[in-house]
Amino acid sequence: MQKTDFNYEILIGEDCSTDDTRQIVEKYVKLYPEKIKLITTEQNVGVSKNSQRLFENSKGKYIAVCEGDDYWTDSHKLQQQVDYMENHSDCSMCFHASEILQANKRKTGMIIRPYNEDKVSPIEDIITGGGGFCPTGSLIYPKELLEDIPFFFRNAHVGDYPVQLILSSKGYVYFMKKCMSTYRIGVEGSWTSRMFNKEGIKENMINILQGDIEILKEFNEFTNNKNVKDIEKNILIKEFEILLIRRKTEELKNTKFNTIKKIQKLKIYVRCYFPKIYKRLIWSKLCINRMVYTFYK
């Protein structure tokens, strides 16, 4: 439903779905052959390679992302974001607010909106917020900025976090407060539902935290220590959380953790041991981050 004064293409990465997605996409390709392009193979290649082949086959100046569990809700979304980026060449990524919806289409009344106004998002917020800080379905960026991606991106455990970090280091990130997309939670088969099922949830969370730490270390090297203080602070918080999950009481007393504010430690403690209370507290502010909507559901 996008209304634009420029041409755009829709590339769909169909990675051997088992729910007849391919047949549905093929029908739309026949209806709009000049607009829609199907990218697929006979074998599943995984999330990372699926995203990469879409990127490599794209021809546009900008890349806008819309994953399988998200959808756009404003017909002028692309036009507004492209207009801004065309008029601000230093902007390396643009994102906007997104509504949160249950998979059964039940409204939550929640919106991912880190700021209450249109504004430049400081890189330290991107570093601290993790991949969930910017709703993936809201992202748009110049393709050329990721033409030569660093090696650590290809090996990262997730794609959204390193992409946001890399782009934020190549210009500035701009946020639009208008809600123009929907993020669905509780989608069967999604990365979140697979990673945070009841079995092995603690180890999965530890693996994610360790993966984030590795991303931050690699990003720090990539940017030549430009944001080392923010990076080291966030690595320390993630190390503290890992020890808390593992109940390493004695190690938590290490003086290096004294720099973490007491309120931050309290939040981590509540998040780990009283997730339902933590979720209610955060959702009451109508703003959640990845640690909320993926840790305990």
Condensed to tens digits (0 to 9), the pLDDT of residues 60-94 reads 999 999 988 899 999 999 999 999 999 999 999 99
Is 135 in the same domain as 210? no
Of 153, 185, 217, the residue that ends a domain is 185
Contact indicator for 155, 73 with CB cutoff of 8 Å:
no
Count of CB atoms situated within 10 Å of the CB of 4: 14
pLDDT mean over 165-172: 96
More confident residue, 15 or 120: 120
Is 224 in the same domain as 173? no
How far is the C-alpha of 75 from the C-alpha of 90, rounded, in Å?
A: 25
What's the number of domains the chain is made of? 2
How far is the C-alpha of 151 from the C-alpha of 183, rounded, in Å?
A: 29
Is 270 in the same domain as 178? no
Is 38 in the same domain as 172? yes
Would residue 2 count as lying in a domain? no
What is the domain range of residue 179?
10-185
- Tell me the C-alpha to C-alpha distance, in Å, between residue 164 and each of 1, 11, 22, 194, 250: 26, 21, 29, 23, 35
Measured between its terminal Cα atoms, the distance across the chain in Å is 32
pLDDT at 278: 58
Would residue 5 count as lying in a domain? no
Of 185, 205, 226, the residue that ends a domain is 185
Helices (H), 12-150: 21-31, 47-57, 77-87, 123-129
How far is the C-alpha of 224 from the C-alpha of 157, rounded, in Å?
A: 22
More confident residue, 263 or 226: 226
* Three-state DSSP state, 177: strand
Would residue 4 count as lying in a domain? no
pLDDT mean over 215-233: 94
pLDDT at 29: 96
Structure token digits, residue 79: 């036009």
Would residue 209 count as lying in a domain? yes
Would residue 240 count as lying in a domain? yes
* Mean pLDDT over the full length of the chain: 86
pLDDT mean over 11-26: 91
Kindly indicate the confidence band of residue 289, based on its pLDDT and cuts at 50, 70 and 90. Answer: very low
Is 45 in the same domain as 122? yes
Residues of the chain above pLDDT 90, percent:
56
Of 167, 185, 203, the residue that ends a domain is 185
pLDDT mean over 181-198: 65
- Answer yes or no: is pLDDT of 105 > 80: no
Name the residue among 134, 183, 184, 191 with its Cα closest to residue 163. Answer: 134
Contact indicator for 150, 220 with CB cutoff of 8 Å:
no
Residues of the chain above pLDDT 70, percent:
88
Is 154 in the same domain as 253? no
Is 18 in the same domain as 162? yes
Is 52 in the same domain as 118? yes
Helices (H), the chain: 21-31, 47-57, 77-87, 123-129, 151-155, 160-168, 191-195, 201-222, 228-245, 262-273, 275-283, 290-295
- Answer yes or no: is pLDDT of 262 > 50: yes
Would residue 274 count as lying in a domain? yes
Kindly indicate the confidence band of residue 295, based on its pLDDT and cuts at 50, 70 and 90. Answer: very low
Would residue 1 count as lying in a domain? no
pLDDT mean over 199-204: 74
pLDDT at 191: 52
pLDDT at 291: 39
How far is the C-alpha of 71 from the C-alpha of 138, rounded, in Å?
A: 9
Residue 219 pairs in a beta bridge with none
Is 166 in the same domain as 271? no
Name the residue among 92, 129, 128 with its Cα closest to residue 112. Answer: 129
Contact indicator for 186, 107 with CB cutoff of 8 Å:
no
pLDDT at 288: 41
Contact indicator for 271, 295 with CB cutoff of 8 Å:
yes
Would residue 163 count as lying in a domain? yes
How far is the C-alpha of 173 from the C-alpha of 84, rounded, in Å?
A: 11
For 106-141, the pLDDT digits (tens) are 777 789 999 999 999 999 999 998 888 999 999 999
Contact indicator for 145, 164 with CB cutoff of 8 Å:
no
Q: What is the CATH number of the domain that holds 19?
A: 3.90.550.10
pLDDT at 263: 84
For 139-155, the pLDDT digits (tens) are 999 999 999 888 777 77
pLDDT at 113: 92
Instruction: Return the DSSP state at 93.
Output: E
pLDDT mean over 181-199: 65
Is 177 in the same domain as 207? no
Contact indicator for 2, 66 with CB cutoff of 8 Å:
no
Kindly indicate the confidence band of residue 182, based on its pLDDT and cuts at 50, 70 and 90. Answer: very high
Is 108 in the same domain as 161? yes
Kindly indicate the confidence band of residue 296, based on its pLDDT and cuts at 50, 70 and 90. Answer: very low
Is 170 in the same domain as 64? yes
- Answer yes or no: is pLDDT of 205 > 90: no
Name the residue among 128, 139, 164, 138 with its Cα closest to residue 149. Answer: 164
